[in-house]
Chain A
Amino acid sequence: MFKQTLQKLLTGEVICETAFADHFAYLNVTENRARVEDFLSNLDRNLTYLASADAYYLTFQQVEQENSNELSQLFLEVRSSFRPLVEFLELLLSATQTDLPLRAKSMVNINALFDPFEHDQTLREQLHRLSAIKPFKTNKLESREQLVFIFQKLQDMGYFVRKNAGSSRYYATARFDLIYLLIEFLNDSERVDLPENIEQTQEELLF
């Protein structure tokens, strides 16, 4: 399992209970983790454990000339998917009306989402807008097809897993938690000046 776990980590996977249960169980054993950490230190990488999501993944130790190209490539990818992912998560919040943000171990039944999107014009329009930007870009016109496409895409990107191919239940992986982490960082470090509250939005909408 040492080899398989390392392979997963080195290829950029986020190991959580939902996505890679066996590897996750392996890393949860202190001795195994120490062995992996020891090996990774030779490759200038750290094994990071994100407690809020209960997940393991690799982080770099420092920016050097050797890795700066790769890092800028990776962060360009993060940059390009940030906006669509935030919009998707917010759309899901509005559609489910539970205020529960999607996080590791959450389960979404896509069948339960079809109805709100079919009956709510605003949600449909938001979904349509989302379907026009990468990586969710699709020519499909029906909201149902657009949703299926987006979920499929997110599964390909490692954000969702399904127990079997035909299932309508999508289990969220810890990758979603990394987006919240990024938002928190942007907010705390005052990189962005986030609006204070939602009521303000409603008032602005009225005018």
Chain B
Amino acid sequence: MAAYNATDVADLLRQIGAHDQLLAEAYVYGTISELPGDSRKIASLHKSGLIRPDDELGDYRVTAELKRMLNRLMRKQSSYRQLSDMGKVIDTLDDMVKDYRFSVQNNQFDDAEYYLDQLDDVLYDAKDNLNVSLENMHYAISSQFGFVSTLSAKVRENERALSYAQKLLNELQQIDPESCYDWADWPCPSDFARKISGFVYWFNQTLPRLRFIIDNMRLSLFRLRRDEKQASLLRNMARYLQLHPEFELSESLFEDPLLPQALKFAPAMPLKSYIDTRNSELEAPLMALVQALRKPAKVSPLVVRENSELEIEATAELLIDHDFFEEQTERLFEQVIKHGAPLSAIHYWQSALKSWIKEDQLIDPKEWVELVFSSYCKLTNDQQVALDIKPKGERLAGTSHNFTYCDVEVLLR
């Protein structure tokens, strides 16, 4: 670690922090494109080894190192299949232990510290790699390989994970705790002894955990394969039913000698019970039940109605009021229609006056003329279209249709 300056590391981390969005996009979407204003930013990230150019000009990807780190931190599933060769790790450790022992025994404390540091790193790496793999495998099983969606992909992933876990188990079995303890079988510093015993302790914990994971993986694989088989059977059955609309299950399927026991469904048994009315013990609860079930007699509430008296009067006869002169105006209109010639109200008054006197009826000519006019106004629209009325007189000065009149003439239009 001494090879690096803490400031350099801080610089690099600061750079990652400053371009968090850009790097996150490159990691999540695979590539980022260089925008006109970004060239300096991109160049500095490239220089720091955080991104690398893609095959496509102007596109960049995150470097394998950064991606690996992010994968690991984000628990990306693809990372769990990194096999650490335990044989090699043990060999390296063996060498380091020898070097360390030699340095300590010869009082070369600086070298001893270096070897102890190296030993710690190797041990930590080996443990960490395996722990991450185990955690990810555990997560993969508990999420039912949720990172792939189709069943066949899940089966493939499960198969691979299982074979990987088995290889991992083989690797782990290369570690012999006894020979590890031998590393510390000399008057060694307690720091060193602690590291070695910690490693052995971890190993003893991990082995059963891995076996448990392998068992679960086998079970999960069995279930996935069964699901796959059932899905395929179901699809085939549905397709068969589509192709054979006439297909029906046999009516006597239950008599089939090959029918497995699991399909011999028993018919439902209608369950009813009757009460032994002679049993006096049941009397009290039975009565309570009957009372509870008895329909309450419906008492419809009395509706208080409002009442008032109705007065009945004798039917009044409707008297039709005849007006003699109104009838006469009708006669006038009748005459006009009969003869088709215009007829003046005054002329009619003069000719009819004698007969009116005989009947004891009298009307002033002015009133008569007004009556004729008002009768004309009372005619229906159709009648007014047939008949016309023309006042005889002078037009009032300054108006268009106002007249002072002394007579009206009724004529056909």
> A181 to B230, alpha carbons, bound, how many Å?
9
> A103 to B237, alpha carbons, bound, how many Å?
16
Residue of A nearest to B245 (CB): A83
Q: Are A191 and B268 in contact (CB under 8 A)?
A: no
Q: Which 3 A-B pairs have the closest CB atoms?
A: A12-B268, A99-B151, A90-B238
The verdict on B347 contacting chain A, using a C-beta distance below 8 Å, is no
Give the distance to chain B from A87, nearest Cβ to Cβ, in Å. Answer: 6
Q: Are A93 and B234 in contact (CB under 8 A)?
A: yes
The verdict on A109 contacting chain B, using a C-beta distance below 8 Å, is no
Q: Which residues of A contact B150 (CB under 8 A)?
A: 97-99
Q: Which residues of B contact A182 (CB under 8 A)?
A: 249, 263
Partner of A101 from the list B234, B236, B255 (CB cut-off 8 Å) is: B234
Q: Are B235 and A10 in contact (CB under 8 A)?
A: no
Q: Which residues of A contact B240 (CB under 8 A)?
A: 192-195
Residue of A nearest to B229 (CB): A184
> A195 to B242, alpha carbons, bound, how many Å?
12
Contact surface of A with B, Cβ cutoff 8 Å: 7, 10-12, 43, 45-46, 48, 50, 52, 57-60, 63, 67, 70-76, 78-79, 82-83, 86-87, 89-90, 93, 97-101, 103, 178, 180-187, 189, 191-198, 201
Partner of B251 from the list A72, A89, A186 (CB cut-off 8 Å) is: A72
Q: Are B271 and A11 in contact (CB under 8 A)?
A: yes
The verdict on B13 contacting chain A, using a C-beta distance below 8 Å, is no
Q: Are B266 and A99 in contact (CB under 8 A)?
A: no
Partner of A86 from the list B151, B238, B265 (CB cut-off 8 Å) is: B238
Residue of B nearest to A70 (CB): B267
> A89 to B86, alpha carbons, bound, how many Å?
48
Give the distance to chain B from A169, nearest Cβ to Cβ, in Å. Answer: 18
> A196 to B258, alpha carbons, bound, how many Å?
23
Partner of B252 from the list A50, A72, A78 (CB cut-off 8 Å) is: A72
Partner of A48 from the list B261, B268, B269 (CB cut-off 8 Å) is: B261
Q: Are A59 and B234 in contact (CB under 8 A)?
A: no
> A187 to B234, alpha carbons, bound, how many Å?
10
Count how many chain B residues have C-beta atoms less than 8 Å from C-beta atoms of the other chain.
44
Contact surface of B with A, Cβ cutoff 8 Å: 149-152, 226-228, 230-241, 243, 247-256, 258-271
> A74 to B262, alpha carbons, bound, how many Å?
15
Q: Which residues of A contact B261 (CB under 8 A)?
A: 46, 48, 59
Grouping DSSP codes into helix (H, G, I), strand (E, B) and loop, the B interface class, with mixed when no group exceeds half, is: helix
Q: Are A100 and B231 in contact (CB under 8 A)?
A: yes
Q: Are B271 and A10 in contact (CB under 8 A)?
A: yes
Q: Are A74 and B267 in contact (CB under 8 A)?
A: yes
Q: Which residues of A contact B254 (CB under 8 A)?
A: 60, 63, 71-72, 74-75
Give the distance to chain A from B158, nearest Cβ to Cβ, in Å. Answer: 13
Q: Are B268 and A101 in contact (CB under 8 A)?
A: no
> A155 to B226, alpha carbons, bound, how many Å?
25
Q: Are B262 and A59 in contact (CB under 8 A)?
A: yes
Partner of B266 from the list A12, A183, A184, A195 (CB cut-off 8 Å) is: A12
Q: Are B234 and A86 in contact (CB under 8 A)?
A: yes
Q: Are A93 and B269 in contact (CB under 8 A)?
A: no
Residue of B nearest to A69 (CB): B267
Q: Are A185 and B231 in contact (CB under 8 A)?
A: no
Q: Are A45 and B237 in contact (CB under 8 A)?
A: no
> A86 to B227, alpha carbons, bound, how many Å?
15
Q: Are A82 and B249 in contact (CB under 8 A)?
A: yes
Q: Are A86 and B237 in contact (CB under 8 A)?
A: yes
Q: Are A93 and B235 in contact (CB under 8 A)?
A: yes
Known: A183-B233, A194-B233. Contact between A75 and B253, CB under 8 A?
A: yes
Q: Are B236 and A79 in contact (CB under 8 A)?
A: no
Q: Are A183 and B268 in contact (CB under 8 A)?
A: no
Residue of B nearest to A177 (CB): B230
Interchain residue pairs with CB less than 8 A apart (21): A45-B266, A46-B266, A48-B264, A57-B266, A60-B265, A67-B267, A71-B267, A74-B254, A75-B249, A75-B265, A78-B253, A89-B234, A90-B234, A98-B149, A99-B152, A100-B151, A178-B262, A178-B265, A187-B237, A196-B236, A197-B232
